[in-house]
């Protein structure tokens, strides 16, 4: 044995201590690691046992039939539009665009013809304002006359008393500046393909097929449209979905990265405008197209609901001022909210689109056209069916105008219905996430047919549709693309897309992903009930944090309506960080709110909430006391209790 002097001995002791400590730590770490591994293994084994263990595909799309017996009791007939006769039908426009007095209606008035004075007023959009209009001075109208303005209000008064007896509006396609006209004619001569988009608010694929059988048949059979069966929404309501379709941005990227801050959800914020949005109509303009944007229901349009829209009209043709003027008309309201005076509202929209397309095609301009129909499809799944015949006629008239021969036509919903009672069912939930999307190709793009057909069967999102439209805008229409992508996430639907992509890759949030292998859980199982209680606890924690003034009543679990376990398939499941999702729909007291939450569990993290909680029934005035839109979904104000 070596003799050590005291100094060396002290060093040796210290060294020994360090080595021992290291050994102990390593041992602990090793045990910890094997413990962690054991937990992960157990978690994996516990959950990866069902069908998910053998499915060999990244995404298993749900397959439901439009007429599944389990939802047929939600499909009902709907009252036809009946404007009644709130006022005599005093004026009309003929085929050539001339306004006339309806001479057959005049004798039915209580006043002689000479006592009637009819005037027209220009509808003027206020500068830098998307929400207000004014009327120009009234001009006497001589029958027949071509109205001089793009948008006009027409009124008839009983002269001596100046009593308003009739009021309506007319929208027509104004002349365009020569510079634009020259460019867009050249683009059309060069064979540029047009883009026409028609959006039905809240329209799922299954509901479109169910409610609009004639239109649907026309799209699929007559003009050979592809119906995209894997198209999934990227956000809850209209705004995030339209944003991605039109700009390639996700709502959160737009908010965070661009610092453009549209302040969606905060109408009192000063810069709630979207003029800076890199919307693809700008890219069509940049490529010499004439652009048009028309929407009904001005309160709830994509960029005005909870925001301020555009300071400057975003497109060459922009119908919004017309709708604002029509909303102001309070004279002799029809009892049917679907009418302005004696005319169904949808007619104003369809006629405008038809007139626009007609002018573009006849005069030979390349065009981009975007239309959004809301008031007939937003609230209920059944309400749209009453215009199937008119929609068929409308699309047939576009066919007569050769639209399907020189345009890519997109007919779509932005998302499925979010409030109709069908939303409470398993199929209704899938429908909410999977909007209708049909795409037709002109003969010059036949070479994209096979890719489009293949892509119609796989998972896709609005980011892909954005890429496809940008291809059209930039004439990137050869079999092989010149660019990888214009936006951030998508791939053009014109070309082959790998079938193994995941929701995450294409901007579909976990809570809307439809790729999981689903297993229905027993609502009576105490474990399921416990998950429901966990959701309520998390919601109450959020209330506790956000509701500083303590205006909302704490919630209590009332019942679990249904719950599903969602598992990745074996192809994408990773033992190391397997996550198991439970989607659960509950009702709570005292508000009777129907809430759907998505909870995730991991081997080492326990259970936590992911994404938004959805409110599946309307909250009405329950949450009047709060303004925060996320709080409003589940706050039940104390004063109403």
* Contacting range for ligand NAG; rule: CB under 6 A; set: 44-52, 262-270, 321-329, 387-395: 262-270
Q: Does 545 bind ligand NAG (CB under 6 A)?
A: no
Q: Does 266 bind ligand NAG (CB under 6 A)?
A: yes
Alpha-carbon distance of 490 to 461, in angstroms, equals 7
Q: Is 618 near ligand NAG (CB under 6 A)? A: no
630 binds ligand NAG (CB under 6 A): no
Contact by Cβ (8 Å): 467, 474: no
> Residues touching ligand NAG: how many (CB under 6 A)?
25
User: Could you say whether residue 289 binds ligand NAG (CB under 6 A)?
Assistant: no
When the beta carbons of 425 and 502 are compared against ligand NAG, the nearer one is 502
- For the CB of residue 86, give the shortest distance to ligand NAG in the complex, in Å: 13
Would you count residue 5 as binding ligand NAG (CB under 6 A)? Answer: no
Nearer to ligand NAG, 133 or 153 (CB): 153
Q: What residues pair up with 121 in beta bridges, in sequence order? A: 153
CB 235 within 8 A of CB 247: no
Contact of 284 with 277, CB cutoff 8 Å: no
| Binders of ligand NAG in range 146-185 (CB under 6 A) | 178-179, 182
Binding of ligand NAG by 502 (CB under 6 A): yes
Rounded to whole angstroms, the Cα distance separating 500 from 572 reads 9
DSSP string, 330-366: -TT--SSTTEETTEEHHHHHHHHHHHHHHHHHHHT--
Nearer Cβ to ligand NAG, position 500 or 562? 500
Rank residues 485 and 602 by Cβ distance to ligand NAG and give the closer one: 485
Q: How far is the CB of 178 from ligand NAG (least distance, A)?
A: 4
Window contacting ligand NAG (CB under 6 A); options: 25-33, 165-173, 263-271, 400-408:
263-271
Residue 594: CB minimum distance to ligand NAG, A: 17
Strands 593-602 and 606-615, sheet pairing? antiparallel
**Residues in contact with 69: Cβ distance below 8 Å, sequence separation at least 6, in sequence order:** none
Contact assessment for residue 531 and residue 585, using Cβ atoms and an 8 Å cutoff: no
**Residue numbers 379-418 binding ligand NAG by CB under 6 A:** none
Q: How far is the CB of 230 from ligand NAG (least distance, A)?
A: 15
Among residue numbers 76 through 115, which ones bind ligand NAG (CB under 6 A)? 89, 92, 102, 104-105, 108
CA distances to 46, 270, 521, 541, 583 from 565, in Å: 12, 43, 7, 24, 7
CA angle 84, 89, 91 (to 5 degrees): 150
Phi and psi of 608, rounded to 5°?
-150, 160
Say how far apart CA 408 and CA 558 lie, in whole Å. Answer: 50
Query: Smallest gap, in angstroms, from Cβ of residue 620 to ligand NAG?
Result: 5
* List of residues contacting ligand NAG (CB under 6 A): 58, 89, 92, 102, 104-105, 108, 178-179, 182, 266, 268-270, 278, 282-283, 486, 498, 500, 502, 620-621, 628, 640
């Amino acid at each position: 044995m070596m003799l050590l002097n005291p100094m060396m001995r002290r060093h040796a002791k210290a060294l020994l201590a360090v080595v021992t400590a290291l050994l102990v730590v390593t041992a602990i770490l090793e045990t910890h690691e094997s413990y962690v591994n054991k937990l992960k293994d157990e978690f994996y084994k516990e959950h990866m046992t069902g069908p998910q263990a053998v499915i060999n595909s990244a995404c298993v799309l749900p397959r439901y039939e439009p007429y599944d017996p389990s939802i047929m009791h939600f499909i009902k007939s709907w009252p036809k539009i009946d404007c009644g006769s709130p006022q005599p039908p005093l004026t009309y426009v003929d085929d050539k665009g001339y306004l006339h007095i309806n001479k057959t209606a005049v004798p039915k008035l209580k006043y002689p013809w000479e006592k009637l004075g009819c005037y027209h007023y220009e509808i003027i959009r206020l500068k830098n304002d998307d929400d207000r209009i004014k009327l120009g001075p009234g001009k006497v109208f001589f029958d027949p006359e071509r109205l001089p303005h793009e948008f006009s209000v027409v009124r008839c008064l009983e002269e001596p008393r100046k009593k308003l007896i009739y009021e309506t509006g007319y929208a027509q396609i104004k002349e365009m500046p020569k510079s634009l006209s020259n460019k867009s004619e050249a683009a059309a001569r060069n064979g540029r393909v047009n883009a026409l988009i028609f959006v039905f608010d809240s329209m799922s694929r299954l509901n479109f097929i169910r409610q609009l059988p004639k239109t649907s048949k026309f799209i699929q059979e007559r003009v050979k449209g592809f119906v995209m069966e894997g198209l999934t929404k990227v956000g809850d309501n209209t705004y995030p979905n339209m944003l991605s379709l039109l700009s390639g941005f996700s709502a959160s990227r737009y908010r965070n990265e661009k610092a453009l801050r549209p302040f969606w959800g905060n109408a009192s914020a000063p810069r709630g405008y979207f003029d800076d949005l890199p919307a693809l109509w700008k890219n069509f303009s940049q490529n010499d197209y004439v652009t048009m944007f028309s929407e009904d229901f001005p309160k709830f349009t994509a960029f005005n609901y909870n925001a301020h829209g555009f300071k400057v009209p975003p497109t060459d043709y922009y119908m919004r001022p017309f709708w604002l003027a029509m909303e102001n008309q309070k004279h002799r309201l029809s009892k049917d909210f679907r009418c302005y005076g004696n005319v169904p509202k949808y007619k104003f929209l369809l006629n405008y689109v038809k007139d626009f397309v007609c002018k573009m095609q006849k005069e030979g301009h390349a065009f981009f056209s975007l239309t959004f129909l809301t008031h007939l499809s937003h609230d209920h799944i059944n309400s749209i069916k009453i215009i199937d015949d008119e929609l068929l006629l409308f699309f047939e008239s576009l066919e007569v105008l050769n639209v399907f021969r020189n345009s890519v036509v997109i007919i779509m919903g932005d998302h499925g219905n979010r409030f109709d009672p069908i939303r409470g069912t398993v199929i209704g939930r899938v429908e909410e996430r999977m909007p209708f999307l049909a795409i037709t190709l002109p003969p010059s793009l036949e070479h994209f047919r096979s890719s489009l057909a293949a892509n119609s069967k796989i998972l896709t999102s609005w980011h892909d549709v954005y890429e496809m439209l940008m291809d059209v805008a930039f004439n990137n229409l050869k079999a092989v693309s010149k660019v990888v992508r214009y936006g951030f996430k998508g791939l053009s639907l014109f070309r082959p897309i790998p079938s193994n992509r995941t929701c995450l890759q294409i901007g579909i949030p976990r809570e809307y992903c439809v790729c999981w292998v689903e297993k229905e859980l027993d609502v009576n199982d105490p474990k399921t009930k416990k998950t429901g209680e966990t959701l309520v606890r998390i919601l109450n924690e959020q209330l506790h944090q956000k509701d500083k003034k303590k205006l909302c009543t704490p919630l209590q679990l009332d019942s679990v309506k249904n719950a599903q376990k969602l598992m990745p398939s074996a192809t994408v499941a990773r033992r190391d960080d397997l996550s198991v999702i439970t989607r659960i729909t509950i009702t709570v007291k005292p508000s009777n709110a129907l809430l759907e939450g998505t909870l995730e569990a991991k081997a080492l993290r326990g259970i936590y909430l992911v994404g938004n909680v959805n409110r599946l029934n309307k909250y009405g005035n329950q949450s009047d006391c709060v303004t925060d839109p996320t709080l409003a979904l589940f706050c039940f104000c104390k004063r109403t209790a």
